[in-house]
Amino acid sequence: MTKILAVDDSASMRQMITFTLKSAGFDVVEASDGVEGVSQARQHKCDLVLSDVNMPNMDGIAMTRELRTLPDYKYTPILMLTTESGLDKKTEGKSAGATGWIVKPFKPDQLLNTIKKVLG
Amino acid sequence: MTIELSQFFQVFFEESFEGLDVMESGLLSLDPSNVDNEMINSIFRAAHSIKGGSATFGFASVAEFTHVLETLLDEVRSEIRGMNPDMVDLFLQSVDCLRELLEGLQAEVPVDGARADGLRQKFEAILGVSTDAVASETGEVEPVAIGWQINMVGGEDILRSGNEPIRMFTQLSEMGELTITTDFSRLPAFNALTLESCYLSWQLTLMADNVTRADIDEVFEWVVDECEIAIEPIMDESLPVAAEQVEATEAQALEEDAPVSDDASAAQTGLAVPQTQKKAEPGSIRVDIDKIDTLINMVGELVITQSMLGQIGADFTFDKVSKLQEGLQDLERNVQVLHESVMQVRMLPISFTFNRFPRMVRDLSRQLNKKIDLVVKGEQTELDKTVMEKIGDPLVHLLRNSLDHGIETPAERVKAGKPETGVVSLNAFHQGGNIIIQINDDGAGLPKERILAKARKNGIIGPDVVLSDEQINDLIFQPGFSTAEVVSDVSGRGVGMDVVRRNVQELGGHVSVKSEEGVGSTFSISLPLTLAILDGQLVRVGNQVYIFPLVSIVESLSVGMNQVSTVAGACDLLRLREEYIPIIPLYDAFGIEPDSRNLEKSLIVVVESENTKVGLVVDELQAQQQVVIKSLETNYQSVEGISGATILGDGTVSLILDIGGIVTIGQSAAPMQIKAA
Amino acid sequence: MNTMQADTDTKDTIDTAGSIVGSIDAVDQYLTFIMDNEEYGVDILAVKEIRNWDSATPIPRAPPHVRGVINLRGTIIPIIDLRQCFGMAAIEYGPLTVVLVLQVTTSGNDSREVGIVVDAVSDVYSLDAADIKPAPQMSDQLNTSFIRGLVTIKEHMVILLDIDNLLGRDDLSDFAEVTDAIKKDEIVKAI
């Protein structure tokens, strides 16, 4: 089963994302900040990473950078969840190695469509 | 498949209220002239989370309002803009406003949006923008093409970010008929190949008549910066024109925008730097209280059963003993684990109650035109959740009192040689089986003469009665007692100390005050840590067994009469090293017939409460064991000197001593007390 | 050991005139007991348990009618000596002495369990509200609120007690005078 790592410091967002993904048949691993995200990524072989940008302890961008140094995650799709529509955040994300982004707020089916697009 | 978002609402509301608390305490602790980066970031993140969540779950009014807030906070954290006290005020007001909005949404009650609008306008004025103009761009109107020609030069790094061209092509192929020609011309020699780099280019022809430019853009939106992508519509019978470079354009945002200043990118410092590790905030677990209470009763029963079994096992037939012992060990272990985990859940740090005070002090001191600093210590001290909920109001009352009547105006303070800013400190700590909460102020202290005069006037005490300072101060807890000249709007009817005392007593605790005129006052509330399992020392007096909290015992000794001094009209004193300790015979205090009234045949247990030591006369020390504290108040009433009861292994009830209360009983019987010289 | 459990339910209320404002079902059951050769009754719905007297742990400095506390399945409940409440001579408790565990609603609307020591349990009667006479009017000083009413059963008088007013107060006052007065009244009437 395809495993997705969902990282967001907001519990309600995590719940919504997990529920959406599980209902679509995905396996989900959660984390509430970048540090936990890296730890979970190490423990579980994930096929895709969804991450919020603004989080305490380690934000999404730093986490992306860290994940890209792990052999298992060199090419894993990493998608940033962001309300920032400013150019800089997306550029920063990309230069850290993120695959792309999903703009908040998103509806559950928008999330699923984007994920399906990425996972092929 | 539709997902019902309302199932996530409750969690969203709860975390948003927590976020608002974080914002509030952060804002209160901010020094506008020297903004702490860490702090402003956490305030920003809290607002950001609320915005994201409210937008996701469809709470547009909250999202719009928070958006403006967030924008301004972002400017402050990017150091584009500084903070000032008026802005802090504005932010604090918007925290209140958001609370109101969220509470209304949670209760499904409509909230008047006027306050939010007013605040939003003020923010917009500061930002110099108006958010009423919608900035989202709609797609261009274009003639319908029958297909698209896309020439893409793959950016070298796109593979490294997990972007796989095949995926994009697959997406395109789902839109219509796709033909691809791959251009290998940029491939270097084999030995110069880097596996992770992309050297390919493609020419893609998509035949479809219902695909818009926006659809195509969307497929490539993530790689559009790194690749050269030329997209040209194929009109009927026209050939694709040589493409111009497509500028890196934004994928259309789904939300309205308040444009962040262009300098923002230049000034970005915050997030790129990895944050220093902070201790993770303790999350709160929401558990049904009834379930917890049931669990705790279960634990109580297990503890009792365990000690009963222990008793039976003690004189059982030999062949069964080892099995019994095994069982007992298991039982003990289970109880331990259950106890620990359950206690963890039930007890919460007092910070949950203390948290509202900084705001209160700030608002009140402004209202009263006084300068007051609040110092909080021991906020991690834990106590039972229900006790904490009930102690909130009495604490508010005592704090208001200190602010209103305790701390003087800046002018008065300067005249008295004190610093202009008064200090109120809150402290909480464990002592024995209790939690002690103290509110201290360096204000004017209790006005003894006025209190005495008022008490005499009200007939509470006779005209000739002489009272010690402590007794005079204690008078403020009498009903109807208020020495406030003017009924203050702040604390209500001046002093409702009798209500405070009653509330505290209902929780099984005490409240007392120490005060010195001109120096300040300290109110102390002592509350039992109910639901506790106490480490107890069983003590026998006559035919009754009592429990002493082990923590309160200093030492136990048998004495010779040469160590005892008899003071006429008061109690005996024990000379213990350099101290003189009053001796209280428990049999008198409790009306029991002891083994012997001869001090030399008895034991003295020296106990301590709030820095006062007394020696209690008992007949025998028995076992030490953990006991479950059961309430006397539930079906009877509180008893002075007794903090609760427990059930011993034989099923009988044993009373647990409240050392503080015993000391008080003893002191009232012994007006004189000689402390160490 | 005799144990009897009962549920609690809403009970009848007494209006200020002292008569019973009845429930739809005007027949109630009462458990009666003996104290000092007088028979008293309590609403059976208030009786949670009947047990034999065992020892109680005394409470320091408690009034004499509070005998102490006992362990009732993990809860601490007080044991009240009703005899002493009513000013009767205290007696030695023996193996036939009975404790009635009652569910009491206090003036603050809390629910409490209290045990009362009685000489012996008598019987259970179904009584029609119409048969219950109000407590006789006394002088203003005497508080009769703890008496629900009087009823004659098999030619002798039974005093029906209002448990909440009797035991639900903060202090358990001395009702001796009232019961004395009632007895005299009845005797006078009987003559």
CATH of residue B549: 2.40.50.180
Please report whether residue B562 resides in a domain: yes
Which of B6, B9, B68, B271 should be substituted to probe chain A, the one whose Cβ sees the most A Cβ atoms within 10 Å? B271
Collapsing DSSP to helix, strand or coil, B647 comes out as strand
In this prediction, residue C115 carries a pLDDT of: 93
Same-domain pairing of B433 and B485: yes
ipTM score of complex: 0.84
Structural domain contains residue C176: yes
Look at residues B214, B234, B254 and tell me which one is the last residue of a structural domain: B234
Chain B CB within 8 Å of residue C170 CB: yes
Ranges under pLDDT 50 in chain B: 131, 133-140, 238-283, 485-495, 531, 670-677
C111 touches chain B (CB under 8 A): no
Residues A43 and A89: beta-carbon distance below 8 Å: no
Q: What are phi and psi of B230, to 5 degrees?
A: -115, 125
Nearest to B509 by CA among B493, B525, B495: B525
Number of separate domains in chain B: 5
Q: End-to-end distance of chain B based on CA atoms, in angstroms?
A: 83
What pLDDT is attached to residue B129? Answer: 64
> A43: buried, middle or exposed (CB in 10 Å: 19+, 13-18, 0-12)?
exposed
Report the CATH number that the domain containing residue B466 is assigned in CATH.
Answer: 3.30.565.10
Chain B residues within an 8 Å CB radius of C77: 635-636
DSSP state at residue B404: I
Task: For residue C177, list its beta bridge partners.
Answer: none
Q: How far is CA B632 from the centre of its chain?
A: 30
User: B34-48, B383-397, C29-43, C173-187: which has the minimum mean pLDDT?
Assistant: C173-187
Interface test with C, best of B307, B653, B658 (most C CBs within 10 A): B653
Residue at C39 is within a domain: yes
A51 vs B: CB within 8 A? no
pLDDT tens-digit map of C159-170: 899 888 888 765
Q: Are B198 and B159 in contact (CB under 8 A)?
A: yes
Q: Give a yes or no: residue C4 inside a domain.
A: no
Which residue range(s) make up the domain with B550? Answer: 533-669
Q: Are C122 and C39 spatial neighbours (Cβ–Cβ below 8 Å)?
A: yes
| Structural contact between residues B426 and B438, judged by C-beta atoms closer than 8 angstroms | yes
Give the pLDDT of residue C146: 80
Q: Are residues B437 and B519 in the same domain?
A: yes
Residue of C nearest to B644 (CA): C76
Q: Which of B470, B498, B528 is the last residue of a domain?
A: B528
HEC letters along chain A = CCEEEEECCCHHHHHHHHHHHHHCCCEEEEECCHHHHHHHHHHCCCCEEEEECCCCCCCHHHHHHHHHCCHHHCCCCEEEEECCCCHHHHHHHHHHCCCEEEECCCCHHHHHHHHHHHHC
Out of C55, C61, C114, name the one closest to residue B652 (CB).
C55
Confidence at residue C69, expressed as pLDDT on a 0 to 100 scale: 94
Side chain identity at residue B633, one-letter code = E
The boundaries of the domain holding residue C84 are: 13-190
CB B69 within 8 A of CB B123: yes
Question: pLDDT value at position B636?
Answer: 84
Domain-located, residue B122: yes
Within 8 A of B48 by CB-CB distance, chain A residues are: 54, 83
Domain count, chain C: 1
Q: Which of residues 297-316 of B touch C (CB under 8 A)?
A: 297, 300-301, 304
**Residue B540: beta bridge partners?**
B545, B620
Within this chain, do residues B513 and B369 fall inside the same structural domain, yes or no?
A: yes
For B33-69, give the DSSP string: TS--HHHHHHHHHHHHHHHHHHHHTT-HHHHHHHHHH
Closest approach of A61 to chain B, Cα-based (Å): 7
Residue by residue, DSSP assigns B311-374 as HHHHTS-GGGHHHHHHHHHHHHHHHHHHHHHHHHHHEEETHHHHTTHHHHHHHHHHHTT--EEE
Whether residue B222 sits in one domain with residue B115? no
3-state DSSP assignment of residue B242? coil
Identify the DSSP state of B140: P
For residue B277, what pLDDT is reported? Answer: 27
DSSP B158: G
Of C102 and C6, the structure prediction assigns the larger pLDDT to: C102
- Name chain B contacts of C63, Cβ cutoff 8 Å: none
Sheet hosting strand B620-628, strand order edge to edge: B620-628, B533-541, B544-549, B653-657, B642-647
Min Cα–Cα distance to chain A from B162, Å: 4
- Most confident of the following: A78-87, B372-381, C17-26: B372-381
In this prediction, residue B677 carries a pLDDT of 31
SS3 labels along C52-88: ECCCCECCCCCCCCEEEEEEECCEEEEEEEHHHHCCC
Task: Using an 8 Å CB-CB cutoff, list chain A residues near B257.
Answer: 85
Regarding whether B359 and B329 lie in a shared domain, the answer is no
Smallest Cα–Cα separation from B387: which of B375, B377, B395, B379?
B395
C37 CB contacts (<8 Å, ≥6 apart)? none
Question: Residue C3: inside a domain, yes or no?
Answer: no
Rounded-to-integer distance, Cα B222 and Cα A78, Å: 11
Query: How confident is the model at residue C130, as a pLDDT?
Result: 83
Q: Which amino acid is at B635?
A: N
* Alpha-helical runs (H) found in chain C: 82-85, 163-167, 176-190
Its domain, for residue A96, covers 3-119
Using a 10 angstrom Cβ sphere, with 0-12 exposed, 13-18 middle and 19 or more buried, the burial of residue B237 is exposed
| B21 phi, psi to nearest 5 deg | -60, -45
Does residue C186 lie in a domain region? Answer: yes
Specify whether B473 is located in the same domain as B426: yes
- Mean pLDDT (chain A) is 89
* Residue B249: partners with Cβ closer than 8 Å, 6 or more residues away: B217, B224
d(CA B605, CA B669) in angstroms, rounded, equals 18
Domain assignment present for residue B45? The answer is yes
The answer to whether residue B151 neighbours chain C at the CB level (below 8 Å) is: no
Residues C71-118: tens digit of each pLDDT: 887 778 999 988 887 777 778 887 778 899 999 887 767 788 899 998
Angstroms from C174 CA to nearest CA on chain B:
18
A98: chain B residues, CB-CB within 8 Å: 161
Do residues C156 and C121 touch, judged by C-beta distance below 8 A? no
Q: How far is residue B600's CA from residue B25's CA, in Å, rounded to a whole number?
A: 60
Boundary of a domain, candidates B349, B377, B394: B349
User: In CATH, what number is assigned to the domain containing residue C164?
Assistant: 2.40.50.180
**Residue B248 located in a structural domain:** no
- pLDDT, tens digit (0-9, with 9 covering 90-100), for B97-131: 999 999 999 888 888 888 888 888 888 888 876 54
The confidence band for C135, taking pLDDT boundaries of 50, 70 and 90, is: confident
Say if CB B405 and CB B487 are below 8 A apart: no
Residues B72, B383: Cα–Cα separation, whole Å: 39
Cα B652 from Cα B655, distance rounded (Å): 10
Q: What is the spatial distance between Cα B559 and Cα B546, in angstroms, rounded to a whole number?
A: 21
| The predicted structure's pLDDT at residue B150 | 87
DSSP structural state of residue C133: B
Kindly list the catalytic residues of B. 48, 70, 401
Q: Which two tokens stand for residue B533?
A: 């399992």
Tell whether C5 is covered by a domain: no
- C160 within 8 A of C30, measured Cβ to Cβ: yes
Is B213 in a helix, a strand, or coil?
A: helix
Same domain, B467 and B538: no
Give the DSSP H or E segment for B535.
strand B533-541
Q: What is the mean pLDDT of residues A63-90?
A: 84
Q: What is the pLDDT of residue A51?
A: 94
> Do B437 and B419 belong together in one domain?
yes
Output the six-digit token pair for C118: 């009685």
Q: How far is CA A14 from CA A9, A21, A52, B110, in A?
A: 8, 10, 10, 28
CB A84, CB A53: distance < 8 Å: yes
Residue B241 resides in a domain: no
Specify the residue for token string 């006789």.
Answer: C136
Q: Which two tokens stand for residue C79?
A: 């044991």
pLDDT score for C147: 83
Q: By the CB < 8 Å criterion, does A71 face chain B?
A: no
Whether residue C9 is predicted with pLDDT greater than 70 in this model: the reply is no
Based on the domain organization, do B596 and B538 belong to the same domain?
A: yes
Whether the CB-CB separation of C132 and C149 falls below 8 Å is answered with yes
Question: Structurally, how many domains does chain A consist of?
Answer: 1
Residues in chain B: 677
Confidence of residue C182 (pLDDT cuts 50, 70, 90): low
Q: Same domain for B371 and B314? A: no
Tokens of B290: 């009834």
Distance from CA of B11 to the nearest CA of A (A): 5
- Asked if B324 and B366 sit in the same domain, the reply is no
User: Which of A78, A80, A69, A83 is closest to A119 using CA atoms?
Assistant: A78
Task: Give the E-state strand segments of B567-665 in sequence order.
Answer: 572-576, 579-585, 603-609, 612-618, 620-628, 642-647, 653-657
**Domain membership flag for residue C169:** yes
Which residues in chain C have their CB less than 8 angstroms from residue B640's CB? 61
Q: Which CATH number is A70's domain given?
A: 3.40.50.2300
Residues B200 and B84 in one domain: no
Q: Given an 8 Å threshold on Cβ–Cβ distance, is B632 in contact with C55? A: no
- With contact defined as beta carbons under 8 Å apart, do B55 and B29 qualify? no
For chain C, what percent of residues have pLDDT higher than 70? 69
pLDDT of B669 reads: 56
